[in-house]
Structure 1
Amino acid sequence: MDTIWPQALPKSKGPKYTLVADTIRRAIENNTLKVGAKLPPVRELAYRLKITPGTVARAYSILTEEGLLSAEVGRGTFVAPPRTPLLDDVWSRQLHLRDDKYDANVSLFSPRLPDVGQVALIRSCLARVAQSDPALFMNYPTRDAYQGVRQAVVDWLSDLPLGALNADDVVLTHGGQSGLCVVFQTVLRGPKPVVLVEDLSYAGFRRAGELMRAEVIGVKMDEWGIDPDALDHVLRQTPAQAICVSPEVQNPTGGHTPLERRQEVVEIARRHDLQIIEDDCYRMGEARAPSYRALAPERGWHVSSISKTLTPALRVGFAIAPRDRSSDLRRSAEYGYFGLAQPLAELTRLLLTDPAARRLARDVREKMGEYVRVAVNALGGFDLNWDPEIPFVWLYLPSGWRAAAFSRAAEREGIQIRSADEFALRDGRAPNAVRIAMNGHVSLRKFEEAMLRLRTLLDNPPEQISV
């Protein structure tokens, strides 16, 4: 172990047990620690690294769960021999490598996450669910039945500045869009409520509003999100009840709303008694400012999911109300769909509490960052908004192209992208831009080929601009 840590544990962001586990894991992967090597006792390593024994014990436990270490009573902890991968595990990890050489089509409509081990973990959790108490499969869900999974969500979101939060504040939903609908059902009142959105915004805001018979009005925005003066002006003209925003990752531009701007929005919302609904589904990295729920605990609603961190297939999301509205939000969910199916809720609990889950989410983020870098290398000569922790890029088109025409030309090349028009309200104006999502289901080689085909199109606009 001296070759791994010649001195005390180096400073790093994140929990210390994660750093310990990552360091040992890398040493095993590069064969610095060989199969059968005995690790120091917990207290000895803790003393050497100047950390608590509990921190080392947790790191050892994580690696034991992963099968990298084995603990033998009375003997100690050893590097375990590599497990023979199951055929299903091998199959699942090939998801993003299955390129058909005769098929040049690449869908870049919505982000598609790579499988870095989630499939194997989900299968393992499903097997554990299958062995659960038979009552799990035969009874209506009760409020108490969700206590464990709601607490798992609180722990999963523990690094997010959400303000005071406990398990009773969390409502489980069928993905982020379902979360938006439940919040709208709780917030909106009257025969024709009004909802505000940014001029360019996630189309699901509009669709959820329409389901509630709401009028959806766009508000002018800039590179930092909602324009405060424009918001105040609209609210003086319209009795809006809520505004939908995505301050951490603005969809589709990839912009970010800094703290000062959020505080201005909160001040205006309080003046006009406006509820703030924050969609946080696209954030993959750390939050860069307090959420609206933390800044305005009396009117901040939060919606998130695991669709951009682990998998969109399970359709699991979370809606969180202001503290004095938690019972209202729970009642909307219970009246609407009783709650998640109990087997799905138990699967979610097992998944979020598994020691490997956070590492997998980090690995997904890093892998998607590789795709972003490939896109930037190919398209960086153009006006491109990007961030390695956002699973899409926003491309302003050069002279000679219009967004609709470019999208059609890309589709003829087998590449599906979204025009800015798809994010504008029906009577709104869209910039000359497109959103290009990352697709982790194809190899980096195939993805790069798609990016190069887009660059060729950008370099060769049509002689006549079509609309």
Structure 2
Amino acid sequence: MSTITDRNVIEVDFTTDDRPKYVVLEGAIRDAIRRGVLPAGTRLPATRDLAWRVGVTPGTVARAYSRLTDDGTLDAAVGRGTFVSEVHAPESMFRDPPPVMVDSTPHLTGGETDVVNLMSPHLPSVGQAALIRKLLADVAEDPPSGVMHYPVSGTERPVRVAAAHWLADPMLGPVDEAEIVVTNGGQNAIALSLQTILRGRRPVVALEELSYPGFRRAAEMLRADVVTVEMDAHGIIPASLAAMAQRHDVQVLCTSPEVHNPTLIFTPEARRREIVEVARTHDIQIIDDDCYLMGRAAAPGYRRLAPERTWTVSSIAKTITPALRLGFVVPPPAQHLALQRAVEYNQFGMATPMSDLAAKLLIHPDLAALQAETSALVARYVSRAVDILAGHDLVWRTDVPFLWLTLPVGWRASAFCRSAEAEGVTLRTADEYAGRDANSPHAVRLAINAGVSLRSFEAALVRLRALLDRPNEGLGV
């Protein structure tokens, strides 16, 4: 096996080419492959090593690797590195591409990298990618719903049946396929639910004082006013919700009681029942966002406690893959037709080939084992983060793909994130989850990026640990 470092095989001159450096480097690697000096199976060096050799930043190398991996020129093996693909691409693939300013792989995933994005969870591929490719081929060969018709209720019935099987959980309660509305991902599910619920010229949506930013953005797109409800260690404070409802005529509460995003707070059953009583008293609908838990729920969901006003939202993004944009809503029985109309008027329904794929995927006999393996690997990454950041104020669960870190005195969240980015690690601050006028805590959310090797992930956390241990660097920034 050869490597780039065995000999000087890359000819690259950044001074004579005005394109972005990552595009120039990408073209140089393609040229080396085309000339045969980088044969199939060649292992490329780590991003930091190649960056030093050619005089660019590790981020530039990671971006070039990502683009080459995305089109199949390179293969990234988690824990092993990045290699020239064994599959020879057509000659046209090796032509220098036009400059493209959009990073097609925002997580910078694949093998060894010094640039690690911890802004959004990224799952490892433990076999689900191969399964999806196989099922895509099956659908392409013989699409059950055809490819020449608008989606209709009948074409989505198989995916609804499969979704009822996939969603089955005693804490959710029985779900019949006829109750499920299929959407293009969890965010689409939230937006469509709000669109169905909200009435009047200035409707009001209540959120937790720190909450998933997608709630706020969907509400504002619908010209709704957003108010925030105080929280404690058990989640929403019922008295605060009642007071807010009296002042603002709240129509809907968006919440995540099983795994609060970003703090990981779990709302126990007794508190949930108190919140339901407030919702019934003030006629508030509840959107229960259940997209982050990788295991089983520990308490009854709002659908079991208040089925007449609960809109349960779920998706496969944090358990199988986010690429397929497959989500679900189980609305209150009386609202099902209204939600279905909202789907039809917005998008006519899910594309029929995607519906056929989802129907096969969600009931595939290998899926449960793949999900279990994915969860186990994510848990390993979480455990390593906990070990490396030990002694700091960290909240975590092995069945959730992110952690919540309260920064030591001396660090402000914005300054910490800027310093982390200079070290090749990107994070989300608490500000992104707070209302515009809120005083958010100096804390950050660290998503698990299991798309990079465990070694690269650990190295990124070590660099964060070094920053945390020098808090005075954040003062006054």
Q: TM-score range by the shorter chain?
A: 0.7 to 0.9
For residues 141-192 of structure 1, the C-alpha deviation after alignment (integer angstroms, 9 at most, x for no partner) is 1111111110100000112522342111111111100000110111001111
Match of 1:395 in 2: 405
Distance 1:165 1:103, change over 3 A: closer
SS in 1 for 2:323: coil
Cα distance in 1 for partners of 2:170, 2:280 equals 23
Q: 5+ unaligned residues in a row in structure 1: which ranges?
A: 1-87
Cα distance in 1 for partners of 2:428, 2:373 equals 26
Is 2:205–2:252's contact at 8 Å kept on the other side of the alignment? yes
Amino acid aligned to 2:353:
P
Cα distance in 1 for partners of 2:116, 2:130 equals 25
Match of 1:176 in 2: 186
Distance 1:391 1:399, change over 3 A: same
Cα distance in 2 for partners of 1:171, 1:284 equals 21
Q: Quick check: 1:321 aligned with 2:331?
A: yes
Cα distance in 2 for partners of 1:92, 1:346 equals 29
Which one of 336, 348, 357 corresponds to residue 347 of structure 1? 357
Bigger Cα displacement from structure 2, 195-204 vs 455-464: 455-464
How far is 1:424 from its partner?
Answer: 0.4
Is 1:168–1:326's contact at 8 Å kept on the other side of the alignment? no
Distance 1:197 1:94, change over 3 A: same
Amino acid aligned to 2:310:
G
Match runs of 1:37-116 below 5 Å: 94=77, 97-98=80-81, 103-116=113-126
Q: Quick check: 1:451 aligned with 2:434?
A: no
Which one of 197, 208, 211 corresponds to residue 187 of structure 1? 197
Distance 1:96 1:184, change over 3 A: farther
For residues 352-390 of structure 1, the C-alpha deviation after alignment (integer angstroms, 9 at most, x for no partner) is 111011111111111100000010000121010001001
Which one of 186, 210, 213 corresponds to residue 200 of structure 1? 210
Amino acid aligned to 2:184:
H
Match of 1:3 in 2: none
Is 1:97–1:442's contact at 8 Å kept on the other side of the alignment? no
For residues 22-72 of structure 1, the C-alpha deviation after alignment (integer angstroms, 9 at most, x for no partner) is xxxxxxxxxxxxxxxxxxxxxxxxxxxxxxxxxxxxxxxxxxxxxxxxxxx
Which one of 365, 372, 395 corresponds to residue 382 of structure 2? 372
How far is 1:93 from its partner?
Answer: 7.9
Cα distance in 1 for partners of 2:235, 2:261 equals 10
Amino acid aligned to 1:94:
A
Cα distance in 2 for partners of 1:154, 1:438 equals 28
SS in 2 for 1:353: coil
Amino acid aligned to 2:475:
I
Cα distance in 1 for partners of 2:409, 2:416 equals 11
SS in 2 for 1:308: coil
Is 1:163–1:297's contact at 8 Å kept on the other side of the alignment? no
For residues 258-312 of structure 1, the C-alpha deviation after alignment (integer angstroms, 9 at most, x for no partner) is 1011000000000000000011111111101111111101001111100000000
Match of 2:268 in 1: 258
Match of 2:88 in 1: none
Q: Quick check: 1:298 aligned with 2:281?
A: no
Is 2:210–2:433's contact at 8 Å kept on the other side of the alignment? yes
Which one of 436, 451, 475 corresponds to residue 465 of structure 1? 475
For residues 212-248 of structure 1, the C-alpha deviation after alignment (integer angstroms, 9 at most, x for no partner) is 1100111101121111111111111111100000011
Cα distance in 1 for partners of 2:345, 2:79 equals 40
SS in 1 for 2:226: strand
Distance 1:358 1:93, change over 3 A: farther
SS in 1 for 2:362: helix
Bigger Cα displacement from structure 2, 317-326 vs 273-282: 317-326
Distance 1:444 1:141, change over 3 A: same
Cα distance in 1 for partners of 2:80, 2:358 equals 27
Cα distance in 2 for partners of 1:320, 1:451 equals 38
Match of 1:284 in 2: 294
Which one of 311, 314, 318 corresponds to residue 321 of structure 2? 311
Match of 2:162 in 1: 152
Distance 1:108 1:160, change over 3 A: farther
SS in 1 for 2:313: strand
Distance 1:269 1:138, change over 3 A: same
Match of 1:70 in 2: none
Q: Quick check: 1:239 aligned with 2:249?
A: yes
For residues 413-455 of structure 1, the C-alpha deviation after alignment (integer angstroms, 9 at most, x for no partner) is 0000111111101111211110001111111111111111111
SS in 1 for 2:471: coil
Amino acid aligned to 1:376:
V
Bigger Cα displacement from structure 2, 411-420 vs 93-102: 93-102
SS in 2 for 1:430: coil
How far is 1:464 from its partner?
Answer: 6.1
Match of 1:10 in 2: none
Distance 1:416 1:172, change over 3 A: same
How far is 1:463 from its partner?
Answer: 4.9
How far is 1:254 from its partner?
Answer: 1.0
Q: Quick check: 1:117 aligned with 2:127?
A: yes
Instruction: Give me the TM-score of the superposition, normalised by structure 1.
Output: 0.78
Which one of 365, 369, 385 corresponds to residue 395 of structure 2? 385
Which one of 332, 346, 357 corresponds to residue 367 of structure 2? 357
Distance 1:427 1:147, change over 3 A: same
Distance 1:101 1:116, change over 3 A: closer
Amino acid aligned to 2:118:
L
How far is 1:95 from its partner?
Answer: 5.3
Is 1:375–1:451's contact at 8 Å kept on the other side of the alignment? yes
Cα distance in 2 for partners of 1:170, 1:344 equals 16
SS in 2 for 1:303: strand
Amino acid aligned to 2:322:
P
Q: Quick check: 1:434 aligned with 2:417?
A: no
Cα distance in 2 for partners of 1:259, 1:463 equals 43
Cα distance in 2 for partners of 1:241, 1:120 equals 44
Is 1:97–1:441's contact at 8 Å kept on the other side of the alignment? no
Match of 1:85 in 2: none
How far is 1:255 from its partner?
Answer: 1.1
Cα distance in 1 for partners of 2:474, 2:266 equals 36
